[in-house]
């Protein structure tokens, strides 16, 4: 289920994600380029 839209500020990747994926990206960085990202990279879907 899509809960958030993630847009990477580094590589521009746009991904529709759910809550657990958001937590994982905040912990591990962008799944594409590994750049660290913050709350501002997520928008409610
Ligand atoms: Zn990225």
CA of 30 to the centre of ligand 1 (A): 5
**What pLDDT, on a 0 to 100 scale, did the predictor assign at position 1?**
84
Q: Tens of pLDDT along 1-45?
A: 899 999 999 999 999 999 999 999 999 999 999 999 999 999 999
Sketch the domain layout of the chain as residue ranges. 4-44
CA of 45 to the centre of ligand 1 (A): 19
- Degrees to nearest 5, angle at CA 13 with 22 and 42: 35
Give residue 39 CA to ligand 1 midpoint distance, Å: 14
Instruction: Return d(Cα 32, Cα 45) in angstroms, integer.
Output: 20
From ligand 1's centre to the CA of 2, what distance in Å? 19
Confidence at residue 8, expressed as pLDDT on a 0 to 100 scale = 98
């Amino acid at each position: 289920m899509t809960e958030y839209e993630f847009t990477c500020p580094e590589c521009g990747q746009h991904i529709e994600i759910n809550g657990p994926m958001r937590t994982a990206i905040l912990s591990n960085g962008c799944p594409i380029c590994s750049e660290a990202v913050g709350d501002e990279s997520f928008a409610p879907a």
